[in-house]
Structure 1
């Protein structure tokens, strides 16, 4: 009995010890956790307080030529044609005007051009045949008559014009001479009147004789008479000269009218003696002109079958192979890869921080190191994001604005073969 009691007492003490030890361990763990949480919280608070303000705007971008990619295609008239030859490969550098591809319609268009050239030859022969039907001798004689009448008319006109000029010059000279005579007589009259007035005073005072005073008055009357006669002569010169000039002009008009009539009659005779009418020649000439126009059009169509590069650049991609029809993708993609830009999709809330001229760094796993560039253009439209990082939980409906970053020349050369490559950009604020 006593032994059982001792055994039970020992078990109870052992159980109590275990409970106390477990409680102590749990309390220690809880205390450690609380202390660690406080430390972590204080550390986090300290870090939040010391994080500096962001000095960069980061965004995804794609590389492309600054002048954008040109899709070479056929003209509208040959759209949907097949490719006969491709003369370039991906990566080739082509010059402006260089032939890149030849369409399947080239042979057909060459045949059409040769046919139009034959039509020119036929029409030209017909025109020559029509012209050869006229009487050459009579036509040449009448043509000479027309030319003689034209030369005669020209000579008569020149002679009459010279006569008119001579009469005008003579009239002007006579007018000048008579005006000088009138001015001289006016001066003499003024002098005579002054003498008369002075002698009149002397006569009243009895200083001179009556006969001397009468001679001064006679001088005044004589001067007036001479002046009036000179003015009359001046008027007569003008009237006669103007009449002669008018008659000469009338003669010139008559020469023109008569000469033109004679020439018209001679030309009418020239036309009447020709066995082939001018309208027939004109019709044949029209056929020649139409054939030439058709040949020019056929040549233009043939040149369109040769697809040429509009600019100097590099072939980025061949979209249509030999024997295939040209589709919406065109024949090939061409671009000037010596000047590359990073088209960056900046989130709309960050666009206010971006300014022209800011420096930027471009990185990617596709090339080593970093590229540097300058913000050269800021878009004016907000669009949906097109470049994605493909990370879980990424927002695929972000609103962005395109910002173009022009790469430095040496960096453009490094990534000239990476058009449409996805890159990361960091615009320094």
Structure 2
């Protein structure tokens, strides 16, 4: 069988082996591509963690993951926290960062209209923004004061009538008792006279001087006198009690007086519905109503104890384990132009949704956070007392030794 030369085959495949120049070039390109892919992936990860573009932020929001969450000492920040330059320069891996707001101790208290004020309108404001008031001090008046004072006058008049009725009842009972006693004395005297007349008549009848009819009349008179004594004794028995106040009529009148006194005390208490008082001792922060306006549902004014300012910080749940009471805290806000300082006072017991968010529309608002309270020092309190609800960035130094919280 004749052998067909390779040049005579229908397909002439020019396969480049590894030793040919063309094969070596193709091998070098593939090797370079394999090396560049990890480099590009690494650079993309670094740039993505640094700039955190919107797609990466949406990925974290969708998956619930956080940059650096898998490390014991993450250095990446949540996408909705942008550190000031001076804080970023001194950032340590052990620091815990979170959004916070400045508030008075105990938070802001709402001063609302008193219970039962109804449709009353605001009549007068007794304080201004920035005034310091004590607990229970009047801060405003409502226009229902005249009506409530009129109810007090009516209750006082009703009490006076009930008291006069009591005196009248006492006098009537005393007179009735004396009259019953006099009636009994007269009935007993008539009985003695009737019995004496009956004895004389019986003697005369026995001598034949008096007739039988006269004797019967004497006996009937003696029997009527006996019944009169019985009726008088029964009437006097109604007033047999030595204590006049225990008499039924006097007791009813006394109870009516007590009811009138209770009603007067109630309407006097109702006059407090015309006065708005401070629920705590503190400073007036804001006034939300003007005279002539019905008190709004959100309250007439807001106040707080600005003598000790606090900060409520939201910390992601995966970082709370390193936070302890007494650790130093640094708070920075562009509006203040300086740094505030304080210490961790308490750590919340519940995990909730994030309440403080930045202006970034792609920020993760479903993050699970724990709220801690930070007590500002004296110097920081003086500065922050005029910035209630100011949003700041808090950095907790978890590597520092915790100080005792007073």
Same fold per superposition (TM over 0.5): yes
Shift of 1:101: 1.2
Q: Distance in 1 between matches of 2:177 and 2:337?
A: 92
Root mean square deviation, CA, Å: 3.4
1:132 to 162, 171, 196: 171
Query: Is this contact kept in 2: 1:64–1:343, CA < 8 A?
Result: yes
Query: Is this contact kept in 1: 2:241–2:247, CA < 8 A?
Result: no
- The match for 2:159 is 120
Secondary structure at the aligned position of 2:250 is classed as: helix
1:17-416 maps to which residues of 2 (within 5 A)? 54-135=93-174, 268=237, 271=240, 278-391=247-360, 393-416=362-385
Secondary structure at the aligned position of 2:106 is classed as: coil
Shift of 1:79: 4.7
Structure 2 unaligned regions, length at least 5: 1-35, 47-74, 76-90, 182-233, 399-406
Shift of 1:124: 1.1
Structure 1 345/79 Cα, relative in aligned 2: closer, same or farther at 3 Å? farther
Structure 1 unaligned regions, length at least 5: 1-33, 45-50, 143-264
Q: Distance in 1 between matches of 2:92 and 2:151?
A: 73
Secondary structure at the aligned position of 2:311 is classed as: strand
Q: Distance in 2 between matches of 1:64 and 1:341?
A: 5
Structure 1 392/114 Cα, relative in aligned 2: closer, same or farther at 3 Å? closer
Structure 1 367/280 Cα, relative in aligned 2: closer, same or farther at 3 Å? same
Structure 1 272/59 Cα, relative in aligned 2: closer, same or farther at 3 Å? closer
- The match for 2:20 is none
Q: Distance in 1 between matches of 2:353 and 2:246?
A: 75
Structure 1 134/90 Cα, relative in aligned 2: closer, same or farther at 3 Å? same
Shift of 1:106: 1.3
- TM-score w.r.t. the length of structure 1 is 0.55
Q: Distance in 2 between matches of 1:373 and 1:274?
A: 72
> Any runs of at least 4 consecutive aligned residues in structure 1 with deviations exceeding 6 A, and if so which?
136-139, 272-277
Secondary structure at the aligned position of 1:336 is classed as: strand
Structure 1 92/383 Cα, relative in aligned 2: closer, same or farther at 3 Å? same
Higher helix share: 1
Query: Is this contact kept in 1: 2:239–2:247, CA < 8 A?
Result: no
Secondary structure at the aligned position of 1:76 is classed as: coil
Q: Distance in 2 between matches of 1:411 and 1:279?
A: 72
1:421 to 390, 393, 396: 390
Number of equivalent positions: 260
Q: Distance in 1 between matches of 2:356 and 2:150?
A: 50
Q: Distance in 1 between matches of 2:315 and 2:119?
A: 39
Q: Distance in 2 between matches of 1:137 and 1:327?
A: 62
Secondary structure at the aligned position of 1:78 is classed as: coil
Query: Is this contact kept in 1: 2:325–2:345, CA < 8 A?
Result: yes
Shift of 1:302: 0.5
- TM-score w.r.t. the length of structure 2 is 0.58
CA displacement 1:276-295 (0-9 Å, x = unmatched): 99222122212211111110
Secondary structure at the aligned position of 1:301 is classed as: helix
Shift of 1:135: 4.9
Query: Is this contact kept in 2: 1:71–1:330, CA < 8 A?
Result: yes
Secondary structure at the aligned position of 1:65 is classed as: strand
Structure 1 307/411 Cα, relative in aligned 2: closer, same or farther at 3 Å? same
Shift of 1:374: 0.6
CA displacement 1:232-267 (0-9 Å, x = unmatched): xxxxxxxxxxxxxxxxxxxxxxxxxxxxxxxxx9x9
Structure 1 135/342 Cα, relative in aligned 2: closer, same or farther at 3 Å? closer
